[in-house]
Amino acid sequence: MIIAISFWLVFGITSAIVASNRGSSGFLWFIFGVLFGPIALILAFTCGKKCPYCASKISTEAIVCPKCQKSLQEKPQENTQEKHQIRPDSDSYLIGGYNYSLLKDKKEQAFCLGCRSSDSMNNLYYCAEKDEYYHRNCLPND
């Protein structure tokens, strides 16, 4: 009888430790563990929130995922005006940190990745870092 009681207490203690490490109430899970034994222990592993990067269960108060080491704090909203800027001194856009410049004095043909059509290079914006061509209305949104 003492062995059975101690076995259920171990389930209660283990459930409490697992649940409290995941941000839930340790006392509540201790009670569940004592009452429901192995079922509560299994359910204790399901509490917490999912990491948006690696989908592992973590504490609800976690700032960094212990598995993938990525920050879980919300990133500040990027200002779209800073992300998509037209520079008045030159015909260029800054999109997602990449510079897209209007090609002038080029008579060769190039392929627009946005609308998948061929056009004269002087009508297209070129990104040297990505080696991509786009019409103005086909520029990426990133």
pLDDT (mean) for 38-60: 78
- pLDDT of res. 90: 56
- pLDDT of res. 52: 78
pLDDT at residue 135 greater than cutoff 50: yes
- pLDDT of res. 122: 65
Question: Measured between alpha carbons, how far is 88 from 118 in angstroms, rounded to an integer?
Answer: 27
- pLDDT of res. 80: 45
pLDDT, tens digit (0-9, with 9 covering 90-100), for 56-108: 777 777 788 877 888 877 553 444 444 445 444 457 777 777 777 777 666 67
Neighbouring residues of 32: CB distance < 8 A, sequence distance ≥ 6: 12, 15, 40, 43, 44
